[in-house]
Amino acid sequence: MQNLLSSSLLCKNIEIKIYRTIILPVVLYGCETWSLTSREERRLRVFENRVLRRVFGPKRDEVTGEWRKLHNEVLNDLYCSPNIVGVIKSRMSWAGHVARMRQRRGVYRVLVGKPEGKRPLGRPRGRWEDNIKLDLQDVGCGCMDWMELAQDRDRWRALVNAVMNLRVP
């Protein structure tokens, strides 16, 4: 795959289509259910920038004439598509879908269920629901119950759009 993305036989548009249609779906499979930490978000951004650098290749500096790697801002300008972490923010739309499910559905029961048994020692791992609450805090609706907010489709859609439009560092 590395040789394919840096091949001079393919034009950049084809390489970007390969990235969008083959690589991204494989990497992001099931991303709506992930509970991402900041370390994992950073690693995904690094992966995306690495692939895009391979696609766009090095550029010659106009002043010194030396070849150099593209900076992240230049890559984002050339790619002009939502970054990989922004795509994962689509978990908000999945959360609204699950919150509106009937109580008999298995996915809903997993969401509201309480596991039995002992917890391991140490700090609890971040939960998927905690990420939803953090996304809502970024928009300014952190004090509200997200399950109730999701019942109103129009309002929830507006919140999902607001979260998707947030600037991800």
**Position 169 in a domain:** no
Quick one: tokens of 61?
A: 């500096």
Mind listing the pLDDT tens digit for each residue in 65-109? 787 777 777 777 777 766 677 766 678 888 888 888 888 888 888
For the entire predicted model, the pTM comes to: 0.68
Where are any strands of DSSP class E within 17-169? Answer: 59-60, 67-68
**Position 118 in a domain:** no
**Position 120 in a domain:** no
**Total domains, the chain:** 2
pLDDT for residue 135? 81
Tally helices (H) and strands (E) across the chain. 11, 2
Q: Give the structural domain span for 99.
A: 91-113+125-164
Mind listing the pLDDT tens digit for each residue in 39-63? 888 888 888 888 888 888 777 777 7
Same domain, 77 and 96: no
Same domain, 48 and 104: no
**Position 108 in a domain:** yes
**Position 119 in a domain:** no
Angle at which helices 38-56 and 72-79 pack, to 10 degrees? 70
pLDDT for residue 154? 92
Same domain, 6 and 72: yes
